[in-house]
Each structure stands twice: as C-alpha cells, then as structure tokens.
Amino acid sequence: MIVASVRTTVPSRSADGELVLVHPDRTTVARLPREHFSSLRNALDSWDTASARLHEINEMLRKGSWKATSSTSEVTFMAPLPRTWAFIDGSAFIQHVILVRKARGAELPEDLYTVPLMYQGASDNLLGPTDPIPLRLSSDGMDFESEVAVITDHVPMGCQAAEAEKHIRLVMLCNDVSLRELIPRELATGFGFFHGKPPSSFSPFALTPDELGGDWKEGRLHLPVTTALNGTVFGSPNAGEMHFSFPQLIAYAATTRPLSAGTIIGSGTVSNKDESVGSSCLAERRMLEKIHTGKSVTSFLKNGDRITISVMRDGVDLFGTINQRVQQV
C-alpha cells in the first residue's frame, strides 16, 4: 500500500493534509471518506483497524472500481506526516559518522559500532517534497542529507529490537536539512542540535514494507538512494549498508520512553565505504576533498540550488522524488 498526504482546501484539516492512497503506477490517487480518514496521523492512532479498510480501498483502486480518484498532477503533495509527535534521527551509516566527525575535528565515540547516535529534531512544520528550503543566511552552511525514514505505530518503552520491526508501518525518504556552521557551537555546549537542524523534508509517498518486496530485509532498504544537485548526480550509495537496522534504532529510541504512533525514525545520511558511489551530503564530499587534496572546495547550498532525492527500481520512482529549491528568506 502506498499512502500520501495532499493539500486540502478545508481550513481545519490543512495542517495535516488529506490522506490519500496512491495507485502503483503513481498516476492516480484515491480520495478517502473524510469522516473515517481525517489524516494519516489520525489513521496511525488506530492503524490495525484503519489499515484493514485502507487495504480494501487499495484493492478497489488497483482494480479500477474505486470511483473517487484524482490524477497525481491535480494534487499538491505534502510530507506524508506534515506534523507529528516526534522526528528522531539516527546516524546508522558508520562511514558518514567517521567523515563528518573528522570534518569538525571531533573524536569518534568509543562505542561507535555498538550504540547508535541519535537526536530529536523538529517534528512540526515538516516540508513537503517540492516545498522551498528556506535559507536564512548563506553563512549558516546549509547542507542536504539524503536518508531513509520509517513511521511507527505505538512502541512501548523497553521494546527490544527483535520485536521492533512489527511496529514499522511505513517507509519513506527524507532530506534532513543541516546548517553546518551552526552545529559545532551547539554541540560544544553539551546540549546538542537545535538551530543547526531546521525542519526536514520528505518524499511524497510512504510505502508499507510489503510494497518493497525483497528489497526490504533485515530492517533495511537494500536499494541505492540517488541524490542530484542542480541536475548532476551527486551520489547513489546503497541504503542496505546501514550498520544499525531500523529495529535497532527503534529499540534504542524506546529505551527510556514509549514512542507515540506517528513517530518518524530517520536512518541518518546514506553512506557507503566505496567512495566511487558518491555522497549523500555536502559535508562528506568536503571531507573527502580535504583528505585527498588537503582542501575542501565544494561550497554549501546557496539561493537557487536544486536538490533531488529518489529511489528507482525497474524504472519506477518508488517514493516519488524530493525535488526542492533553496530559497533565501
């Protein structure tokens, strides 16, 4: 099943958008009865019940018998969850951790391979796949970070990794926007990210894991995530190289607290040891330049830059494309 949220003209529902189902060909969406499905956030609160009806409608959409439909060209996609209870971002790709720590002169944690890195970011005002990325100051050092993310149902405190995968309801893509020049000062205070992590962006479509077939295994998406900057491919590393799986990240996040239904868990920047596949953020490229030439030459994002993030399989744009332009505000 493929779900999405689209902008609605109903003022009371505009913040959460209108929940729709998406046909596998990505050209048509099923409009749902609003009295039963006011938003994805609402549906996740009672997912076992809601998903049964959604699967029924999904079958009708695929057979062509669901009449309340619109073309995808007629709607504007928001983030699948435009606002939610929590966005918790991990850093599950060890190569990314190593390079970014080097970039800011920080020591690697002793438990790098056994304990996930994680922070809690902004979970309101999340950006849709084509929303502009607001740039306050060019000196902030704006960067993109291409990631995979999952949406959970309710996860009890103390949930173990072996039980956590059953709590994954949807999979999507994320652009975790970072302001690199603000982050070092914030981390040095001992309190962590705040201004350095403005709202992130998400793909138009969120997929149930079964839609991914054999490309979803061991709690990971085993496909390349392709990022392009101003029309030129920047990197296409395989997301299957996650060191920590999503169930491990969920279990770690739930160590001392339950996770509400609708919690988003990010993988962290997709990164591979093989440098030839490119990078999923500017900070990595800059660090590799410094390692190989002694100098970082790639600049951070500037007004007008365009970033696209997608996952292709057999010619199908699985999650739809994050396609955003940086806009000075």
In whole angstroms, give the CA distance from residue 175 to residue 281: 10
Tell me which of 83-92, 142-151, 181-190, 230-239 is least confident.
Answer: 181-190
> What DSSP state is assigned to residue 79?
-
Give the model's confidence band at 109: pLDDT under 50 very low, under 70 low, under 90 confident, else very high.
Answer: confident
3-state secondary structure 20-74: EEECCCCCEEEECCCCCCCCHHHHHHCHHHHHHHHHHHHHHHHHCCCCCEEEHHH
Partners of residue 149 on adjacent β-strands: 172, 266
Q: What is the pLDDT of residue 122?
A: 93
Please state the rounded mean pLDDT for residues 291-297: 90
Assess whether pLDDT exceeds 80 at residue 53: yes
Three-state DSSP state, 189: coil
Q: How many CB atoms lie within 10 A of CB 289?
A: 14
| Structural domains of the chain, with CATH | 2-74 (no CATH), 87-328 (3.90.850.10)
Residue holding tokens 């093989």?
Answer: 274
Report the percent of the chain where pLDDT is more than 90: 88
| Alpha-carbon separation of residue 156 from 166, 246, 293 (angstroms) | 12, 16, 49
Q: What is the pLDDT of residue 106?
A: 78
Three-state DSSP state, 166: helix
Q: What is the pLDDT of residue 105?
A: 75
Quick: pLDDT tens for 300-324. 999 999 999 999 999 999 999 999 9
Q: What is the pLDDT of residue 52?
A: 94
Three-state DSSP state, 104: coil
Please state the rounded mean pLDDT for residues 158-170: 97
Question: What is the longest distance spanned by two Cα atoms in the chain?
Answer: 62
Assess whether pLDDT exceeds 60 at residue 12: no
Q: Are 50 and 40 in contact (CB under 8 A)?
A: no
Q: pTM for this structure?
A: 0.95
Assess whether pLDDT exceeds 90 at residue 102: no
Please state the rounded mean pLDDT for residues 182-188: 90
Give the model's confidence band at 143: pLDDT under 50 very low, under 70 low, under 90 confident, else very high.
Answer: very high
Assess whether pLDDT exceeds 70 at residue 10: no
Quick: pLDDT tens for 269-278. 999 999 999 9
